[in-house]
């Protein structure tokens, strides 16, 4: 069995996905950055990117609460927000002079308003899939 080779790449642009919604009395903005950490390819037209997703959450009404912890999410009530606005963003990478656009497709968002980060923003859990298209 042969191993798929890791190839070098250049990051040309990272534009975060921005999601805005309202839960109870607060407006929440989630920014999601898609950071490639490795790219594998056997031919010029097909790549397999490995990515890290970095998420930043902001609210207009920060407040204290129990600290975010994935283990606590099972015992707390999750809200599924109605999304007001989405800017899809995306990351463009170049592999062997060919450009590829990486985008996230959100499949689920859960917001835990009683769990908070150190800055008072609610905990947000997002499920996603990665879409890759050649430009």
Q: How far apart are CA 107 and CA 126, in angstroms?
A: 8
Residue 113: Cβ within 10 Å count: 20
pTM for this one?
0.89
Separation of alpha carbons 84 and 28, rounded Å: 10
Domain residue ranges of the chain, discontinuous segments joined by +: 6-134
Contact predicate 92/135, CB 8 Å: yes
Question: Six-digit token pair at 47?
Answer: 């790549």
- Per residue of the chain (135 residues), give pLDDT as tens: 568 899 999 999 999 999 999 998 999 999 999 999 999 998 878 899 999 999 999 999 999 999 999 888 889 999 999 887 789 999 999 999 999 999 999 999 999 999 999 999 999 999 999 999 998
């Amino acid at each position: 069995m042969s191993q798929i080779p890791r190839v070098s790449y250049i990051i040309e642009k990272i534009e975060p996905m921005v999601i805005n919604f309202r839960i109870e009395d607060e407006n929440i903005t989630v920014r999601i950055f898609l950071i490639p950490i490795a790219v594998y390819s056997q031919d010029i037209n097909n790549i397999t990117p490995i990515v890290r997703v970095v998420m930043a959450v902001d609210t207009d009404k920060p407040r204290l609460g129990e600290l975010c912890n994935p283990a606590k999410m099972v015992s707390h009530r999750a809200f599924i927000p109605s999304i007001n606005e989405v800017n899809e963003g995306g990351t463009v990478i170049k592999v062997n002079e060919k450009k590829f656009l990486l985008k996230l497709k959100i499949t689920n968002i859960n917001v835990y308003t009683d769990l908070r980060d150190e800055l008072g923003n609610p905990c947000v859990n997002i499920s996603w899939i990665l879409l890759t298209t050649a430009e």
